[in-house]
Amino acid sequence: MTRVSSWGRLSDRPHEVIKLSDPARAVRLIAGQSVPGLAFGMGRSYGDVCLNHDGVLWLTTGLDHFIAFDDRTGRLVCEAGVLLRDIQRIAIPRGWILPVTPGTQLVTVGGAIANDVHGKNHHVQGTFGDHVQRIRLVRTDGETLECGPQKQSDWFAATVGGLGLTGVITEAEIQLHRVPGPWLDTETLAYANLEEFFNLADDSEASWEHTVSWIDCVTGGGGRGLFMRANPVDAGQRTHPKVRKLTIPIVPPISLVNRWSLSSFNMAYFNLKRIHAGCAISHYESFFYPLDNLLKWNRMYGPRGFFQYQSVVPRQVGEDVTQAMLDTIAKSGDGSFLAVLKTFGSRQPVGMLSFPQPGVTIAMDFPNHGARTLKLFERLDSIIREAGGRIYPAKDARMPRALFESGYPRLNEFMKYRDPGISSELSRRLMGC
Ligand SMILES: Cc1cc2nc3c(=O)[nH]c(=O)nc-3n(C[C@H](O)[C@H](O)[C@H](O)COP(=O)(O)OP(=O)(O)OC[C@H]3O[C@@H](n4cnc5c(N)ncnc54)[C@H](O)[C@@H]3O)c2cc1C
């Protein structure tokens, strides 16, 4: 048994970890399992969606082969343990890019499908699942299914965003998008309050592919922040200065993120970035994945770990709800080191349990202070519930079952596709098995 944590490091309980590498052998291992198992990619989910303590984890990172790539059409076929980083490194020099990518490239294709991840361009490209053409899914009864948007589309809709609970994805076919190169034309603008944020978001969506903002949820509760937008650009031959990756070498005995460090960080970050606001040509790695430069940054929160709280609410109530959340956080005396605020486009989700819905999403990290932190989340939950919103399971370790059920109205339909030999800590908490 091996102790395994997810990105939030809230627990490290024992699991039996079984490494999958050869696809044919993987089918036998998955089908031969006597206790419930769960696929595990890079463990970049924050909470318990990728955990299954005292049970089995099928580690998929050994399923890392590229199977086919057509550089005339941008069609890629690969095993599910391939990292998004490796796809970008191979595809971008050939003029293709992953159409959707989350804020870290250190995730697997299988994990990106199972959480139906989103990026900074939801208003243009939707979610990762929008670009998947075919999946190979292995069930614990030994059956292998091929599904996609046109073939067995019900299985596809259950598996995209299906939290790993419908089977193990061993292979996927993805449609990449044309890109002129690795560079982006970027602009950073400071905003003073939420009204300015929403004006910037509305003005930018028609002409900018990527939009995202960092919001200061510590200082004053006013909602000031920095809005970033970007478009791919042909910037000719340039060299990307090698960024030296730093590592947090140990877990400090207490969290380095506390009230004092939070307000100094937020103040310094806002002022520094405001001074350097404006236009720039940026490399895709710096724009999409700034956090990947500080390896193991999750250790910063000390031995008790941290929670991420990510919600989405409809656009028409977005400003009031976001303000109410910021006020609640300010009153609690807690705050988030990094809070990300962005709008989602009006596309309907591909998966039955996909998180994105038209509206506005906020993602915030909070050090784990036990009951005090959970109390704050209860207050935030009631704001989200009343607004008709939902919480992102990929980031969750504690949402109440009632909020999950109200946020995901297709849950009953989804349950028919669950694999009885698969279970996670999240599924036991939110679905009862
Ligand atoms: C710094 C950072 C930034 C992030 N930014 C974003 C963001 O912008 N947008 C966003 O949407 N998410 C974001 N995330 C979350 C992350 O993208 C997702 O949690 C992603 O699913 C993690 O992939 P993984 O390979 O680590 O999967 P894991 O975390 O190991 O597993 C995630 C889920 O996928 C299932 N799974 C994994 N592989 C398979 C498989 N082969 N078959 C079936 N099920 C499988 C697991 O059972 C589990 O349910 C971020 C995470 C971090 C740490």
pLDDT tens sequence for the chain (433 residues): 999 999 999 999 999 999 999 999 999 999 988 899 999 999 999 999 999 998 999 999 999 999 999 999 999 999 999 999 999 999 999 999 999 999 999 999 999 999 999 999 999 999 999 999 999 999 999 999 999 999 999 999 999 999 999 999 999 999 999 999 999 999 999 999 999 999 999 999 999 999 999 998 887 566 899 999 999 999 998 988 778 888 988 999 888 888 778 777 777 777 777 777 899 999 999 999 999 989 999 999 999 999 999 999 999 999 999 999 999 998 888 888 779 999 999 999 999 999 999 999 999 999 999 999 999 999 999 999 999 999 999 999 999 999 999 999 999 999 999 999 999 999 999 999 9
How many CA atoms, within 13 angstroms, populate the side-chain half-sphere of residue 193? Answer: 7
CA distance 309 to 46: 10
Helix, strand counts (H, E) of the chain: 13, 21
Mutate which of 117, 285, 311 for ligand 1? The one with the most ligand atoms within 8 Å of its CB, which is: 117
Contact 345, 120 (CB under 8 A): no
Cβ of 60 below 6 Å from ligand 1: yes
279 bridge partner residues: 187
CA distance 17 to 146: 26
CA distance 290 to 195: 26
Mutate which of 40, 59, 210 for ligand 1? The one with the most ligand atoms within 8 Å of its CB, which is: 40
Q: What is the pTM of this model?
A: 0.98
CA distance 196 to 77: 43
What sign has the CA pseudo-torsion 102, 107, 113, 116?
A: negative
Q: How far is the CA of 318 from the centre of ligand 1 (A)?
A: 26
Closest to 222 in 3D by CA, of 260, 267, 261, 265: 267
Contact 95, 179 (CB under 8 A): yes
